[in-house]
Amino acid sequence: MPFSARFTPCRHGLRAAAAGLAIGLAASAAPAQMRSLPPEVAAALDRAKVPREALSVVVQDVAGNAPARLTWQAQTPVNPASLMKLFTTSAALDLLGPAYTWDTPVWLQGSWRAGSRGVFDGNLVIKGTGDPKLVMERLWLLLRRVQQLGVREIHGDIVLDRSAFEVPAQNPADFDGEALRPYNVSADALLLNYKSVSLTFTPDAARGIALVSSEPPLAGVSIDTRVPLATGALSTTCNDWRSALQADFADAKQLRFKGSYSPACGEKLWPVAYPEPAAYNERLLTGLWSEMGGQLSGRVRDGLAPDVPPTFSVSSPTLLEVIRDINKFSNNVMAQQLFLTLALAQRGVGTPDNAREVMRQWLTTRYGEAGRTALIDNGSGLSRDTRVSAQLLARLLQDLASSTQMSELMSSLPVNGVDGTMKRSKSPPGRAHLKTGSLRDVTAVAGYVLTDSGHLCLLVGIVNHPNAGAARPALDALIDWAAHDVPGNLEAMK
C-alpha cells in the first residue's frame, strides 16, 4: 500500500513552512557529516563513471526545523528536466485551485433550414480555452451533444477559435530530432487528442500478419492495416519492434510499414505524433463527424467565436485529475497547456512570456531571490535551458508538506516500484512518492520518502552529466538510504 494512505502530515501555513525550511537548510550546512554522500550512493556514481560533483541532493525531514540529513551541491543551479512539473502543478493548485476546470464553449451560429430535418445552415464554432485533456472520447461526446440538438448536416464550416493561446510556431523535431514522439507535440488552445495517432499491432499467426488498427479516424489519411509477421530468428525477439516495422511517415496522408512485426511481441500500442500537426484538427473533426453519420458541406478552419453566450459548453476533468496525469506519467504537452493556462487566467492571454512571468512572480513571492533567479523556460521541463537548485525544489516540497494541498500533490506523484514513471525503480517499492526527470544529460527524482522510523522526509536528487542515464542506480541507492534512517546510516556518513 502506498505510504500516503498510511501517513498524514501536519497542516501549517505556507509562509511558516517556507521560513522553517530556510532555517533548517541554513542549519544543515554546519555538520560536516551531513554533507558527505552515503557510501552506497558514491559507489553507484563511481560505477556509472559520473563524478560526484554532478549530483545535487537534499534529504530533509519535513517536520520541524531539524537540520537536513544530507545536502550536497544543493545551491548549484542545475537542469531539473521534468521536475519542473512540480513547480507548474504546485503553482496551478495554488492559483487555480484543485477543482478548476477548463470549459470549451460551442456555438451553433446560423439557422435551421425550413422544412428540413437535421440541416443547419451556418457554422459550428468551437472555442479552445486550453483544455489539456480534450481526447477523442470527450470530443466524441461534444459532437454527440451537437447531434442531440438535432444537427445532422452542417451547411457551413466548423470554425475553431484557438486565440486563447499565442504560441510561436515550431518544428516538433527541434528539441531532439524526434518529431513523431508525442512528448514533442506543441501546446494549443484547442488541443485535440494530443495531435496524436494510436497504432495497435495484433499478431495473427494463422494468417502470418499483424493487424494494424488506428485511432482516431483522420479524414484523407490512409494507414496500412496489416504488416507481415517476422520469420526465423527475427520472430523470436521483441527488442526493437518499432524499428523493425520500418515505418514510412514521410507522406502524412499515407502511413506505411515496410518491415515486419515479431509475433513474440504479442499486442503492442504505438502512440505517434501526427506528422502534419497543423492539419490534425481538420482531419480529426472531419473524420470523426463523418464516422458519426454527420455531413459537412464546408470545411474545418480557424476563426473567432461570436461575442454572445454559447449554445453549450463542455467541461474538462478537474485540475486535480489533470495534474495526476501530468506528474504520474510526465505528460509534457499537458504540462505546457497548464503553464499557458496560468498566463491565460492571470494575464488574459496564454503566451510563453506571460506564463514565465506568472511563474517568476509566484516563486519570488514565496522564495525571494532564490525564486526570482530561477531560470524558467516552459512548464514541462522539456528544455535545455531551465535552471533551478535542489534547495529551491526542497523548499517547494517543504511548503507543500505543510499545506492544504499536500494530499493532492502527493497523490499525483509516481509510487516507486508501483506505478507511473517510477514503476521500474529498484528502490524498496511503495516507500516513496517521487516525480522523475529525464533528458539526454539529466536524470532526477524529487518527492517524499517514508522512513523506517515512520517519519516523512523530502528528497531531491539531480544528476547533470553526459552519462546521467547510467546514474539511475545511484538515485535508487539514495532513496533506499533515505528510507532507512537508522543510526547506523548516519554513523556511516561521519
209-215 sheet: strands from edge to edge: 226-228, 209-215, 196-204, 268-273
The per-residue pLDDT for 124 is: 98
Task: Judge if the upstream peptide bond of residue 51 is cis by omega within 30 degrees of 0.
Answer: no
Each of the 494 residues of the chain gets a pLDDT tens digit; together they read 444 444 333 333 333 333 344 433 433 333 333 458 999 999 999 999 999 999 999 999 998 677 899 999 999 999 999 999 999 999 999 999 999 999 999 999 999 988 788 999 999 999 999 999 999 999 999 999 999 999 999 999 999 999 999 999 889 999 999 999 999 999 999 999 999 999 999 999 999 999 999 999 999 999 999 999 999 888 888 989 999 999 999 999 999 999 999 999 999 999 999 999 999 999 999 999 999 999 999 999 999 999 999 999 999 999 999 999 999 999 999 999 999 999 999 999 999 999 999 999 999 999 999 999 999 999 999 999 999 999 999 999 999 998 999 999 999 999 999 999 999 888 888 999 999 999 999 999 999 999 999 999 999 999 999 999 999 999 999 999 999 986 545 444 44
Q: Quick check: 151 and 294 in contact, CB under 8 A?
A: yes
Same domain as 263, residue 327 = no
The per-residue pLDDT for 32 is: 35
Same domain as 418, residue 331 = yes
- By DSSP bridging, strand 268-273 and strand 196-204 are antiparallel
Same domain as 332, residue 229 = no
Q: What are the cell numbers at 180?
A: 513523431
How many domains does the chain divide into?
A: 2
Residue 211, H or E segment? strand 209-215
pTM of the model: 0.90
Q: Which amino acid is at 432?
A: A
Q: Among the three residues 299, 316, 333, which one is the final residue of a domain in this structure?
A: 316
Mind listing the pLDDT tens digit for each residue in 270-280? Answer: 999 999 999 99
Same domain as 453, residue 361 = yes
Residue 426: CATH number of its domain: 3.40.710.10
User: Rounded to whole angstroms, how far apart are CA atoms 401 and 405?
Assistant: 8
User: Rounded to whole angstroms, how far apart are CA atoms 335 and 342?
Assistant: 11
Residue 127, H or E segment? strand 119-127
Residue 117 per-residue DSSP state: S
User: Rounded to whole angstroms, how far apart are CA atoms 418 and 424?
Assistant: 8
User: Rounded to whole angstroms, how far apart are CA atoms 331 and 85?
Assistant: 9
The per-residue pLDDT for 487 is: 52
Same domain as 473, residue 457 = yes
The three-class DSSP label of residue 346 is helix
Q: Quick check: 48 and 470 in contact, CB under 8 A?
A: yes
Q: Quick check: 357 and 364 in contact, CB under 8 A?
A: no
Same domain as 208, residue 80 = no
Which position has the grid cell 539514495?
A: 478
Same domain as 395, residue 438 = yes
Closest CA to 460 of 94, 92, 72, 90: 72
Q: Among the three residues 266, 296, 316, which one is the final residue of a domain in this structure?
A: 316
Phi, psi (rounded to 5 degrees) for 442: -135, 135
User: Rounded to whole angstroms, how far apart are CA atoms 3 and 453?
Assistant: 13
Which pairs from 45-53 meet CB under 8 Å and 24+ separation?
Answer: 45/471, 45/474, 47/473, 48/467, 48/470, 48/471, 48/473, 48/474, 49/467, 49/470, 50/463, 50/465, 50/467, 50/468, 50/470, 50/471, 50/474, 51/465
Q: What is the per-residue DSSP string for 47-115? A: HTT--GGGEEEEEEESSTTPPPSEEESTTS-B--GGGHHHHHHHHHHHHT-TT---EEEEEEEEEEPTT
The three-class DSSP label of residue 365 is helix
From residue 104, give the alpha-carbon distance in Å to each of 68, 107, 218, 313. Answer: 46, 10, 22, 5
Q: Quick check: 341 and 96 in contact, CB under 8 A?
A: yes
Same domain as 95, residue 44 = yes
Q: Quick check: 223 and 199 in contact, CB under 8 A?
A: yes
Same domain as 230, residue 161 = yes
Beta-bridged to residue 412, according to DSSP, are none
Q: What are the cell numbers at 321?
A: 485529475
As to burial, measured by CB atoms within 10 angstroms (0-12 exposed, 13-18 middle, 19+ buried), residue 35 is middle
Same domain as 408, residue 274 = no
Looking at 272-351, list the stretches that DSSP marks H as alpha helix, in order from N- to C-terminal side: 280-291, 319-328, 332-347
Q: Structural domain of residue 65, as residue ranges?
A: 3-99+319-491
Q: How open is the CA angle 450-454-457, to the nearest 5 degrees?
A: 40
The per-residue pLDDT for 35 is: 57
Same domain as 454, residue 358 = yes
Q: What is the CA radius of gyration of the chain?
A: 25
Q: What are the cell numbers at 37?
A: 554522500
Q: Among the three residues 298, 316, 334, which one is the final residue of a domain in this structure?
A: 316
Same domain as 302, residue 369 = no
